[in-house]
């Protein structure tokens, strides 16, 4: 452990803080995180921590979700450049226009959205429970925001509803190509191919399984296989090696999220030291956006 890491641990105790780290963070940031997980898991954990300050090592929408679920606590985003490009593809005003054209149609908002978009939504979902959330709605039509590829994945399993797709996507996951996976498979013929549901349909067709990041972890830990080709952000492999020691993981070089990688140890230290980059949301926005998030968490409890 280096001096910066030591300083972070000391500051964390002094400030009564907890550090939440996403699976896609740099390995050194993962190492100083108290809790690691995907956006859903961290959202749930944010409701359980007792610390006065939450340092969210992820992207902007995740820190917003933590603030929405913990309005009385200080939530810090260590680097303001850590912005989710897919979340930025959906805005509240055009969503309101789409809702006006489809009165009574519920909005299922992927958790990878801004607080403003969540406030216009009926329920949030994650990549792990998107299918179940859409199936749970009684209406025969839904608006799905913002990830087209995740929406197409849902449509594989939900045949009795019309799904209106928003034209958004994850740049990291669309960079994963079948050709890349095929080349890795040639080199490692015994490896299972695991990809994220944010990947394009042809990639999901090629893969053996499509899972959320936590689903990928569970599968690799329990699988009798010892080799895996991982179709998601390559920083995920650091956690996989810790969770499933002795197994081999091969990533797709193009699958990097520069926005997730913006946060450094120095950013975490400075955020704690100066209590800087606070997430500030109005009480009205928090009240509106909290409803679909809590519905998502409740749906998760029923999985």
Q: Domains in the chain, start-ordered, CATH in brackets?
A: 3-82+260-280 (3.40.50.10800), 87-169+285-301 (3.40.50.10800), 176-251 (3.40.50.10800)
Residue-level pLDDT at 112: 95
Q: Determine the pLDDT at residue 43.
A: 77
Which token pair is 1? 């452990």
pTM of model > 0.75:
yes
Which pairs count as long-range contacts for 70-75, CB under 8 Å and 24+ apart, including other chains? 70/46, 71/281, 71/283, 71/286, 74/275, 74/278, 75/278, 75/279
Q: Which residues of the chain have pLDDT under 70?
A: 1, 300-303
Residue 301: what pLDDT? 55
pLDDT of the residue at 83: 97
The H-assigned helical ranges of the chain are 3-14, 27-32, 39-46, 60-69, 92-101, 115-119, 130-136, 148-157, 171-174, 178-187, 201-206, 213-222, 236-243, 265-274, 283-301
pLDDT tens across 58-72, in order? 999 999 999 999 999
* Alpha helical stretches, state H, 36-188: 39-46, 60-69, 92-101, 115-119, 130-136, 148-157, 171-174, 178-187
Give the tens place of pLDDT for each residue, 7-48.
999 999 999 999 999 999 999 999 999 999 988 788 788 888
State the burial class of residue 26 (Cβ atoms within 10 Å of its Cβ: 0-12, 13-18, 19+).
middle
pLDDT attached to residue 202: 98
φ, ψ of residue 140 to 5 degrees: the values are: -95, 5
The pLDDT score that the predictor gives to residue 302 is 47
């Amino acid at each position: 452990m280096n001096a910066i890491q030591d300083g972070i641990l000391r500051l964390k105790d002094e400030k009564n803080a907890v550090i939440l780290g996403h699976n896609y963070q740099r390995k050194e940031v993962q190492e100083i995180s108290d809790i690691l997980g995907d956006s859903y898991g961290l959202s749930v954990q944010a409701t359980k921590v007792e610390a006065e300050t939450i340092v969210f090592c992820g992207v902007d929408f995740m820190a917003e979700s933590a603030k929405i679920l913990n309005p009385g606590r200080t939530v810090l985003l260590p680097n303001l450049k850590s912005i989710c490009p897919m979340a930025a593809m959906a805005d509240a005003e055009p969503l309101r226009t789409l809702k006006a054209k489809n009165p009574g149609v519920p909005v299922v908002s992927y958790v990878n959205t801004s607080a403003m978009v969540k406030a216009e939504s009926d329920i949030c979902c994650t990549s792990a429970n998107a299918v179940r959330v859409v199936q749970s709605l009684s209406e025969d039509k839904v608006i799905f925001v913002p990830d087209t590829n995740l929406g197409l994945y849902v449509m594989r399993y939900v045949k009795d509803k019309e799904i209106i797709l928003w034209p958004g996507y994850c740049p990291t996951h669309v960079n994963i190509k079948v050709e890349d996976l095929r080349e890795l498979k040639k080199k490692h013929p015994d490896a299972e191919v695991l990809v994220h549901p944010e990947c394009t349909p042809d990639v999901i067709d090629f893969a053996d399984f499509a899972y959320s990041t936590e689903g990928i972890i569970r599968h690799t830990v329990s699988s009798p296989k010892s080799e895996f080709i991982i179709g998601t952000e390559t920083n995920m492999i650091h956690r996989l090696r810790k969770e499933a020691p002795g197994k081999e993981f091969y990533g797709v070089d193009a699958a990097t999220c520069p926005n997730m990688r913006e946060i450094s140890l120095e950013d975490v230290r400075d955020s704690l030291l100066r209590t800087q980059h606070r997430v500030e949301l109005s009480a009205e926005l928090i009240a509106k956006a909290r409803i679909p998030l809590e519905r998502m968490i409740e749906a998760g409890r029923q999985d």
